[in-house]
Amino acid sequence: MPMPRPRRRARSACLLAFAALPVLAGACGSNVPFDAAPLRLADTGLFADAAARTISKDALPFEPQYPLWTDGAQKSRWITLPRGTSIDASDADHWVFPAGTRLWKQFTFAAGERPEGASKAAVETRFMMLRADGTWLYATYVRTPAGDDVLAPPDGVRDYCATADGKHHDVPGHGDCRLCHEGTRMPVLGFSALQLSPDRDPLAPNAAAPRAGAVDLPALVARGLLRNLDRAHLQSPPRIAARTPAERAALGYLHGNCSNCHNGDGPLHRLGLRFDHPLAATAPPALASTVGVAGSFTRGAATQRVVPGAPACSTLFLRVSAMDPLTQMPPFGRHLVDRNAVALLEQWIRTDLPAATATSEVDQPICKKDK
């Protein structure tokens, strides 16, 4: 688990960073590839009119059904493929994107103050692009007092804006981006057959309704942007193979928030903890790798990853609900507790999981039953 970095209160850090950054005079065309990140968001191809902040018609909006939670941020997402190209879905769980693919994710916080002089619109926009050599470029752009979006420093910006409960949002550095996106075979997160399935989970925590024009799995195929997808996934749209509605939502939340690190392919696969959900799976790997499994990280009375009927004795529940930077999961990217997710996980472990597993008592000396 990566060690948390020291936090520092730097209310004016973003303004100092802005002053140190030059501004490009020219622009990169929306279909012109580049090796290094442009200094301005306007030069990444997101806008048709940067001054009016009009999104390019080539940038397609999408909304994953199990979004990554970031301290309550509202997010907008877009993807652009080079014209005449498509995504290869021959391996339904690991799509292959064409060189030049670009994705953006814009963050807005509904509450909380902004740094002095900064716009109250989007706080930051994250950008990634697949280079010709097969590596991904990552960049983050922050809003200046003048209303422009400029490249953030390589190490990010700490305490960029207030969110809630006295906490602040951190703009990530390059290392943070790679740590999240390169812990799995498919660095593009939130854009997959399961995430874009039209069979959306009505109980998914923090999910937003797709905006007008947002693409899903059938739309990508119809537009010719996704090829070689097994037609069975259109006839029977992907969904979590859960036993109860609450379990479906709980495992979906863990998939969207944890599977980028805890999966069957990445560096942490040796832990045997999986929250990814292969489309061919008849049972979620998350169940076999958590319920009744001894925890590799214990706290207090918790000795198993998930103990049916006992959230307070379940390591998974304690880590998702923790605020201690040495204990909380995810270990970075949040400074608040996702109360919607905590309530859902508590219901699933306390009520749905015992019903589904026919277990009502916990066979542990300390956690006889969680009251």
The domain locations on the chain are: 13-186+209-235, 245-357
Whether the full predicted model's pTM is greater than 0.75, yes or no, is: yes
pLDDT tens per residue across span 74-116: 999 999 999 999 999 999 999 999 999 999 999 998 754 444 4
What is the structure's pLDDT at 26?
Answer: 30
E strands, the chain, in order = 47-49, 54-55, 60-61, 74-80, 87-88, 102-108, 124-130, 136-143, 149-151, 157-162, 168-171, 226-227, 294-299, 302-304
User: Alpha carbon 327 to chain centroid distance?
Assistant: 19
pLDDT(29) > 80: no
Q: For residue range 212-267, what is the model confidence (pLDDT) as tens digits?
A: 899 999 999 999 999 999 999 999 999 998 999 999 999 999 999 999 888 888 88
Model confidence at 124: pLDDT above 50: yes
Within 13 A of 115's CA, how many CA atoms are on the CB side? 29
- Low-confidence winner among 153-167, 273-287, 351-365 (lowest mean pLDDT): 351-365
pLDDT band (50, 70, 90) for residue 365 = very low
Q: What angle do CA 58, 61, 64 make, to 5 degrees?
A: 145
pLDDT tens digits, one per residue of 3-25:
344 343 333 333 333 444 433 32
Q: Go through the chain and tell me how many residues it has.
A: 371
Q: Contact at 8 Å (CB) between 322 and 328?
A: yes
Q: Which residue has the tokens 């400029």?
A: 150
Mean of the per-residue pLDDT values of the chain: 84
Cβ neighbours of residue 64 closer than 8 Å, sequence gap 6 or more? 77, 190, 191, 195, 196, 207, 256
Q: Can you tell me the distance from the alpha carbon of 265 to that of 276, in angstroms, rounded to the nearest whole number?
A: 10
